[in-house]
Structures are given as C-alpha cells and as structure tokens.
C-alpha cells in the first residue's frame, strides 16, 4: 500500500456487538483505546445509522470524524456537513412516527428510534406472525409515501429506515469526505456489517478496500469479510502494529 490510508468504520455490528435494543450497544473499552491510538496515526471516520449526537456520545473521542444518520450529518476535525435537515422535514417525520406508532401499537417487540433526520423502526425482537403483521402494516402506511417521493425507505438488519427523499447514503458521504483536504490522495478502508454499508463498498470499490462483517455469503460489493466485531478488533490491531513497526515504535506500547 503506497498511498496513506483513511479508516471508515461502522459502529453497530462492526465495532460494537449488535444489542437487542439500540440503547444497549456500547463500545468495548479495548476497542475505544485502539481507536484512540489509530486516530493519532491515520484519519478515522465513524459512519453510522445512529444520529450524530448519539454516535458521538457512544464513542466520545476527539480528533476523529463522525458521520451520523447514514451520512446525512457529518462533523469533526473542522468539518461540518448536513443534508435534508429542514424544519418542515422534521415536522413531517414526527407526524409519520406518530401514525406508525398507532399502526403498530400492541405488536410486541417493535421499537422506534427517532434520530431527528431519520426514523428507525426496529423489529429484531419480533417473531413469526407478529413480524409478518408488522411488515404488512409498515408497508401499507409507508408504501404510498415512498411511491409519491415523500420519503426514502431502506432496510438494515431487522430495521426499517425512513429517510428524507434525497439522494444521499453512506457511499456519497464517504465520497464527500474523501474530497476534503485531509483525505485527498488517501486510500480508504471501509469496514461495515449492514446492507447500508454496501453503498460505501460500491463507492470505494476501485479506490480502496471494503471489508464486510458477517457471513461470507453476505459480502456483496466488499473485497473481504471478517466474521464479527472480535475479528474487526484483531484486524485493526494488526493495522496499528504495522504503523508502529514502520515508525520504529514498540509494538504493544502507546
């Protein structure tokens, strides 16, 4: 690798294990320390479906860039960029959320996550007939809005994402960041576990390396696969050790 690198990392299912409820996911302390060490040597970007405020709270490191809401809001290291966050959209999304809560009320295991610019409806805790009914009700309510171009609907791991009707995703967010002075000429390494990360894998396909996390049959447009957050940690540890060897520092010390 002749070009200097830049690290783009998803959070849930990549750095942190998937949790039953969104608020239960936390970054392991050893991973936090590793990210801090890496950020001193290479630009690090956390790209998450969580809101910018939430992902900053859960990672809490200075000196890195955060891309929340699938890249709709980007901040850190002097950068700030926001897409589709008008007041009228927030009001519309609030009305949509209220209607969906009514539609899906009484279905055990449905969780709503209002992230300001987007809304997530989690169904990980549902099973069988309840999950099928939830899908039918969700489609009935959101299908017409999507067809009229009022919303964008995407799917993640056991979650429906309601986004503003703008052409923006993790891939476009990474492309925007790569055009910034600190990133120009760098070689992007993107690691993520969800369907939404495939947009980023496609974007960097010819200019960097995409690494999917999970089963090999879900690699999609990524170049390589790591099994779980534990393997992601070990891979990043090797990356850090390589930096230290090249700089003549002691491996394992910081």
Helices 87-104 and 128-147 pack at an angle, to 10 degrees, of 150
Q: What is the DSSP letter of 250?
A: P
Query: What CA–CA distance (Å, rounded) separates 254 from 128?
Result: 50
Contacts of 102 (CB under 8 A, 6+ apart): none
Contact predicate 14/193, CB 8 Å: yes
Query: What CA–CA distance (Å, rounded) separates 16 from 107?
Result: 28
Query: What CA–CA distance (Å, rounded) separates 197 from 209?
Result: 13
Contact predicate 204/190, CB 8 Å: yes
Contact predicate 173/73, CB 8 Å: no
Residue 216 backbone phi and psi in degrees, to 5: -65, -30
Query: Pairing state of beta strands 73-76 and 65-68?
Result: antiparallel
Q: Which residues are catalytic?
A: 10
First to last CA, the chain: 24
Contacts of 98 (CB under 8 A, 6+ apart): none
CB atoms within 10 A of CB 240: 20
């Amino acid at each position: 690798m002749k070009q200097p690198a830049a690290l783009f990392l998803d959070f849930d299912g990549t750095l942190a294990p998937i949790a039953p409820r969104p608020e239960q996911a936390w970054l392991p302390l050893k991973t936090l320390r590793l990210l801090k060490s890496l950020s001193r040597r290479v630009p690090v970007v956390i790209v998450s479906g969580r809101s910018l405020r939430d992902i900053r709270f859960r990672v809490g490191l200075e000196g890195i860039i955060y891309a929340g809401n699938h890249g709709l809001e980007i901040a850190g290291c002097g950068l700030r960029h926001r897409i589709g966050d008008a007041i009228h959209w927030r009001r519309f999304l609030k009305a949509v959320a209220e209607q969906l809560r009514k539609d899906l009320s009484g279905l055990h295991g449905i969780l709503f996550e209002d992230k300001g610019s987007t809304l997530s409806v989690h169904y990980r805790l549902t099973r069988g007939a309840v999950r099928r009914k939830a899908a039918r009700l969700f489609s009935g309510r959101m299908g017409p809005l999507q067809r009229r171009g009022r919303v964008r609907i995407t799917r993640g791991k056991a979650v429906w994402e309601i986004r503003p009707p703008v052409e923006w995703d993790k891939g476009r967010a990474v492309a925007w960041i790569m055009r910034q002075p600190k990133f120009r000429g760098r070689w992007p390494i993107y690691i993520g576990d969800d369907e939404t990360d495939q947009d980023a894998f496609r974007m960097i396909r010819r200019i960097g390396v995409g690494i999917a996390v999970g089963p090999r049959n879900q690699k999609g447009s990524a170049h390589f696969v790591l099994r779980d957050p534990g393997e992601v940690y070990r891979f990043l540890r090797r990356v850090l050790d390589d930096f230290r060897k090249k700089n003549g520092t002691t491996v394992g010390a910081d």
